[in-house]
Chains A and B, each alone.
Chain A
Amino acid sequence: MSAGAARYPRLLLQSVGYEFRKRIQFRTGFFVREAINGTVEPLIMLFVFGALYASASAGTDGAPAVLGGWRYEEIIKYCAGLMVVRKLVFNNRGLELASEIFEGRITKYLVMPFRFFVLLQGRFVQYLVMQVLVAGLVWALGYAIAGDRWLVPVSFSAAAQAFTLVLLGSYCCFLLFFTINALAFWLDVVWSLLVMAWFVISFAGGGTIPVSQMPEPLFRVLSYGFPYWTITAPIELMMGRLGTEAFQRGLLLLLVQLGLLEALRRAVWRRGLAKYVGAGM
C-alpha cells in the first residue's frame, strides 16, 4: 500500500472529526438543521393523501380505495419511511463548495499536498453518520407513537438491502451536488441550480408521491434514475413490495450512475481549476 493510500483513511477520519466539531458547536442550529429538517414534508403528504383517499373511498361503498396500486395504510407506512430515508439522502446543506469557490476560500487547499475532495468526502461521511443516528431516533420515536401503523421492515435482509441502496444513492446525490457546486468556477447562478436539482431529485425519487404511484410511462422512465433507487425503492423494499431481484437491478443501476457521476465530477473540477482566479486574496 502506497504512503498516499495509507494516509487517505487517516485524513478522511480527521476531516470527519473536524466536520463533526463544526456541525455540533451550535446547539440550536444542530437541532433545526439535523433533527427537524425533512420531517415536515411527509406529514403534509400524509394529510393530503388522507383527503384524497377519503374522497376516493366515498364512491366505493365503504371499501378501502386503491390509488395507483397503493392503499392508504401503505401510504402511511410510505410517509413514515420517507421521514427516515430522506434524512439519509445527502442534500447540498453543509457542502458549501460554491461559496468557497466564489469567496476564494479553496485557495488554501490548492497549495496543500492532498486531494481537496477528501475534505468534502469527510463532510459526506460526517453527514451520513450523524443522519444515521438521527434517522434511527426518528424511526424509534415514530414506532413508539404509531406502533404497527409505522413502517417496520419486513425482514432484516430487506432493511439491509434498503440501507445499501440509500447509501449508494446518497453518494450519487453528493457527487451531483459537488459537480453543480463546482460550476461556480464559471457561473454565479449555482444556488438556483442547486435548488432546482434538489427539487428534481425529490420529485423523481418519490419525495412528493411514490414513483410507482405515478402514471406508468413516467414510472418506467424514472425507474432508471438514481433518485428512484435512493428513496421510493428502498422504502418499498422495507415494506415488502419489492424483492431481492429489484434490489439487484437497483444496485447495478446505482453503481453505473455513480461511476458516471464520478467521471463528470472529476472533469468539471479539473476544468474549473484552470478557470479559478483565487478571488479575495
Chain B
Amino acid sequence: MTHDGSDPAIEARGVRKVFETFERAPGLLGIVKNFVAREKVEITALDDVDLVVHPGETVGLIGANGAGKTTLVKVLTGIVPASSGVARLLGEDSFHLRDAEKRRLALVMGQKSQLWWDLPPIDSFQLLREIYSIDPADFDARLEQYTEMLDVKDRLKIQLRQLSLGQRMKMEIIGAFLHDPDVVFLDEPTIGLDLVSRETIRQFLVHLAETRGVTFVLTSHDLEDIEETCRRIVVLDAGRVAFDGDLATLSRQVTGKRAVEIHVDPHTQVDEARVATEIAPLGAEISGRTAGALTVVVDAERLAELVPVLFATLDVRDVSVERQPLEHLVKEIYRRSDRAGAGLRPARGRRQT
C-alpha cells in the first residue's frame, strides 16, 4: 500500500483522554458517605495514542470492550476534546472543526440512530440535504443508487422506528453518505445484524472505498467486517495502540490461529498435563477448560496434525474448529508484543500505505 504523500486525513499525536467520575461506595453507610464527600476517580480511556491515516486508507479499529475504540472515534471526530495531545481531522483541530471540514465528515453509530426516530427516512434525508447543502440532482442520484445497492428503496417512506434493525442501519449508512463525505467513521455498524445484512453493508462500504476513495475508520467486534472492508488494522487495548499494521501481517502472525474445542465425557478425568505435553511440539496450547470441553489454540496450518493427536490422547465425543475469538486475538497480540517487542508493532505514525 502506498499513499501519495498528501496530508493525513486523520492524525493523533500523543492523544490522552481522561474521564472524571465519582466512585460510589455500596450500602447505607456508603450512601451517607457519598452524600457528604464523594470520591473522584479518573479513568484513562486513551493513553498516548498515535495514529496517522492518509486519504483513501481503510482502517479497522479493534479491541475488547473498554479498550478505547469509541473514545478514540469521539476524540477524532471532535465530539469530545482530548485531555492532552493533538487530534486533527483534515488538517484541523478535531474539537474545533469548521463547517467546511464537517461537510467532509460522516459518522455512523451502530448503537445510536443518526436519523430521526419519529420520521420516515426520506424526511430525515431531506433535512440532511439542507444541513449539508447537497445539490438536489446529486441528492436524488445518490439516494437512488444507495437505496438500490442496499435494497431499501421501498422502505423510504416508512417511519424509522417501524423498520427492522438491518433496514434501519442501512438507512443510517445511506444518510451518512448522501453528502459524499471524504472521511467516514463507522462505530460498530453491523452490531446485531443478520449475516445477509452484514454482507450487504460490507459490500457497500468496499464499493465506496474503491470507487470514491473514501477514508474509513471502522470499529467492530466482528473480525469479518474488518477483514472484508479494511486493509489496515489498529488494535487498542487499555487505551493504548497495541498493533498498527496491515491486515496481511496480522493474519499471518495472529489470525492464522484456530481454536479447537474438544468435547469429552464430563465424568471422565482429563489429564491436562499429558494433553499439554502431547500437543506442545505442534505449537498448540490449552486456552480454556470446562467440565465437558477443552479448548486448544493452534496455528491453522498445523490443525491437521493436531486433530489426530487429540483423538489419540482423549476420549473425544465431538470437535469444533473456529477462528480465534477477538479477545484471544487481542491477548495474543499483547503476549507476542511483550515477547517480540517491536517485531509485531510496525512504527506507528510513520506508516507508508
> A residues within 8 Å of B by Cβ?
3-4, 7, 10-11, 14-15, 18, 21-22, 25, 104-105, 107-108, 110-114, 274, 276-278, 280-281
Contact = CB atoms under 8 A, between A and B. Distances in A.
B112 interface: yes
A108 B74 contact: no
B79 A276 contact: yes
Contacts of B102: 111-113
A25 B99 CA distance: 33
A25 B78 CA distance: 34
Contact of A110 (B70, B78, B113): B78
A277 B133 CA distance: 28
Given A112-B131, A113-B102, 15 more contacts: A7-B130, A14-B130, A18-B116, A18-B119, A18-B127, A21-B118, A108-B113, A110-B78, A113-B100, A113-B103, A113-B132, A114-B99, A281-B73, A281-B111, A281-B112
B107 interface: yes
Contacts of B116: 18, 22
Contacts of B74: 278, 281
Nearest to A280: B112
Contacts of A14: 126-127, 130
Interface in B91-148: 97, 99-100, 102-103, 105-107, 109, 111-114, 116, 118-119, 123, 126-127, 130-133
18 contacts: A3-B133, A11-B130, A11-B131, A18-B123, A21-B123, A107-B112, A108-B107, A108-B114, A111-B78, A111-B97, A111-B106, A112-B132, A113-B131, A114-B131, A277-B19, A280-B111, A281-B73, A281-B187
A104 B112 contact: yes
Contacts of A10: 130
Given A110-B79, A278-B74, A278-B79, A105 B123 contact: no
A113 B99 contact: yes
Contacts of B187: 281
Given A21-B123, A281-B109, A281-B111, A111 B118 contact: no
Contacts of A107: 79, 107, 109, 112
Measured as residues with beta carbon below 8 angstroms from the partner, the interface class of chain B is 20 to 34
Task: Tell me what chain B mostly uses at the interface: helix, strand, loop, or mixed.
Answer: mixed
B80 A278 contact: yes
Most B C-beta atoms less than 10 A away, residue of A15, A22, A108, A276: A108
Nearest to B107: A111
Contacts of B77: 110-111
A110 B80 CA distance: 10
Contact of A276 (B80, B99, B106, B123): B80
Nearest to B79: A278
A13 B74 CA distance: 30
B81 interface: yes
Interface string B58-90: 000000000000100110011111000000000
Nearest to B102: A113
Contacts of A22: 116, 118-119
Contacts of A280: 111-112
Contacts of B78: 110-111
A138 to B, nearest CB: 27
Given A18-B123, A21-B119, A277-B80, A108 B112 contact: yes
Contacts of B126: 14
B82 to A, nearest CB: 12
Nearest to A118: B131
Contacts of A111: 77-79, 97, 102, 105-107
Most B C-beta atoms less than 10 A away, residue of A4, A10, A278: A278
A274 B112 contact: no
Nearest to B179: A113
A25 B123 CA distance: 14
Most A C-beta atoms less than 10 A away, residue of B112, B118, B123: B112
Nearest to A108: B114
A25 B118 contact: yes
Contacts of A25: 118
The 7 closest A-B pairs by CB, nearest first: A113-B99, A113-B102, A14-B130, A108-B114, A278-B79, A113-B103, A111-B107
A178 to B, nearest CB: 20
A163 B352 CA distance: 66
A111 B106 CA distance: 7
A165 to B, nearest CB: 32
